Amino acid sequence: MAKKSRQATEVTMDMTPMIDVVFLMIIFFMIVSDMTQQDLAEIKLPLAEQAVDDKTEEGRMIVNIFKTGEIEIKKQPYPTLDDSQAATALRSYLAAEVSKGKKDAQGLSERALLIRADKETKFKEVQKVMRICGENGILIYKVQLAAAQNEQK
């Protein structure tokens, strides 16, 4: 009896389910990665029970202060404010930002400043920023202190 020759079968992988899953994963990561957090540096914030939800405000400036006293604004590092060049750079940045916004009758800026300092940062470093805020040509008085919220809230 003659043997039947085996038919070669072409093995193909169905890519459709894999592409579906990969697209779903991309959509998930696009949604959860918040691009607005680019201004926020990696800092350990202190816990505050009364901290209110921080909604992004238009025109608000964010200053990050590390525990070494170094400052970072929009990923731009500034050395400690003991360095006069850094203080001048911060002054000109804040003055430029304030000039873009509205001012009240007293000439004070209506734009707020969020200070995000590490919980171990000496408060005098924060006060250096506050002092610059009070200078002529800047005059920011709305200051917000960033704090971590209690998760059980």
Partner 1 sequence: MARKKPEIEEVTMELTPMIDVVFLLLIFFIVTMKFKVLEGKLETELPKDVGVNSGEVEDLLEKLEIKITANPTAENGMTIAINDLKMPNLQTFRSRIADFIRLDSEQKATLYPGPKVNYEQVVIVVDQCIMEDLVDITFAGVTWDA
Q: How far apart are CA 153 and CA 150, in angstroms?
A: 6
Task: Confirm or reject binding of residue 95 to partner 1 (CB under 8 A).
Answer: no
Instruction: Calculate ∠ Cα 22-23-28, nearest 5°.
Output: 95
Question: Which residue in the set 39, 80, 95, 149 belongs to the binding site for partner 1 (CB under 8 A)?
Answer: 149
Q: How far is the CB of 86 from partner 1 (least distance, A)?
A: 19
Q: Which of 15, 75, 100, 105 binds partner 1 (CB under 8 A)?
A: 15
How does 4-17 read in b/e, with b if 16+ C-beta sit within 10 Å? eeeeeeeeeeeeee
The nearer residue to partner 1, 5 or 49, going by C-beta atoms, is 49
Would you give the binding string for partner 1 spanning residues 37-66, x where CB under 8 A is met? x--x----xxxxxxxxxx----------x-
Phi/psi of residue 16, nearest 5 degrees: -55, -50
Q: Quick one: which of 116, 110, 122 has its CA closest to 147?
A: 116
Strands in 76-78's sheet, in edge-to-edge order, are 76-78, 71-73, 61-65, 113-117
Regarding 124 and contact with partner 1 (CB under 8 A), the answer is yes
**What are the residues binding partner 1 (CB under 8 A)?**
15, 18-19, 22-23, 25-26, 29-30, 32-34, 37, 40, 45-54, 65, 106, 108, 114, 117-124, 126-127, 130-131, 133-136, 139-149, 151
